Chain A
Amino acid sequence: MSVLNAKGVYYRELNRQIRAQFASGVEEVRVQNVNGQRYIGDGISGSQRLILEGTPGNDLAAYMDGLELIVEGNAQDAMANTMNKGRIIVHGHAGDTVGYAMRGGEIYIRDSVGYRVGIHMKEYLDRVPAIVIGGTGGEFFGEYMAGGVLMLLGLGLADAAPIVGSYCGTGMHGGVMYIRGEVEEYKLGKEVKSVSLTAEDEEKIQHYVSEYVRYFGGDAAQILARPFNKLIPANKRPYGDLYCAW
Chain B
Amino acid sequence: MTLSLSTPDFLIERNRDRCINCQVCVRQCANEAHIWDEEEQRVKSDDALCVDCQRCVTLCPTHALTIRKYPLEFRENANWSANAIKAIYKQAESGGILLTGMGNDQPYPIFWDHLLLNASQVTNPSIDPLREPMELKTFLGRKPEKLMVQDGKLVEEMPPQLELEVPIMFSAMSYGSISLNAIKSLAAAAEKTGIMYNTGEGGLHKDLYKYGKNTIVQVASGRFGVHPQYLEAGAAIEIKIGQGAKPGIGGHLPGEKVGLEVSQTRMIPEGTDAISPAPHHDIYSIEDLRQLIYSLKEATQYRKPVGVKIAAVHNIAAIASGIARAGADIIAIDGFRGGTGAAPLRTRDNVGLPIELALAAVDSRLREEGIRNQVSLVIGGSIRNSADIVKAIALGADAVYIGTAALISLGCHLCQKCNTGKCNWGIATQNPLLVKRLNPEIGAERAANLISAWEHEIKELLGGMGINAIESLRGNRLMLRGIGLSDRELSILGVMSAGE
Contact = CB atoms under 8 A, between A and B. Distances in A.
A194 B277 CA distance: 24
A62 B268 CA distance: 19
Interface residues of A, number: 48
Interface residues of B, number: 45
A59 B99 contact: no
A103 B263 CA distance: 13
B267 interface: yes
Nearest to B277: A144
Contact of B273 (A38, A78, A237): A237
Contact of B299 (A63, A119, A239): A63
Nearest to B86: A246
A63 B222 contact: no
Nearest to A16: B301
B476 interface: no
A39 B327 CA distance: 15
Contact of B272 (A12, A236, A246): A236
A82 B226 contact: yes
Given A62-B295, A63-B299, A103-B267, A78 B419 contact: no
B261 to A, nearest CB: 13
Of the listed residues B99, B100, B282, the one surrounded by the most CB atoms of chain A closer than 10 A to its CB is B282
A63 B76 CA distance: 59
- Report whether over half of chain A's contact residues are helix, strand or loop; otherwise say mixed: loop
Given A81-B282, A244-B91, A244-B94, A65 B227 contact: yes
A246 B98 contact: yes
Contact of A63 (B94, B95, B228, B268): B228
Interface in A69-124: 77-78, 81-82, 84, 97, 100-101, 103, 116, 119-120, 122-124
Interface string B56-97: 000000000000000000000000000000010011011111
Interface in B394-416: 416
Contact of A101 (B90, B99, B222): B222
A56 interface: no
Contacts of B298: 11-12, 15, 38-39, 42-43, 59, 62
A245 B420 contact: yes
Contacts of A174: 269, 272
A171 B276 CA distance: 11
Interface in B207-238: 221-223, 226-228, 231
Nearest to A60: B295
Interface string A40-51: 001111000000
Interface string B335-346: 000000000110
A136 interface: no
Contact of B291 (A58, A119, A127): A58
B454 interface: no
A38 B294 CA distance: 9
Contacts of A237: 254-255, 272-273
A183 interface: no
B273 A123 contact: no
B275 interface: yes
B268 A97 contact: no
Contact of A65 (B87, B90, B228): B228
Interface in B235-280: 252, 254-255, 263, 267-269, 272-273, 275, 277
16 contacts: A19-B301, A63-B226, A77-B282, A78-B295, A120-B275, A120-B281, A146-B275, A237-B254, A239-B252, A239-B275, A240-B273, A242-B97, A244-B91, A245-B419, A246-B99, A246-B416
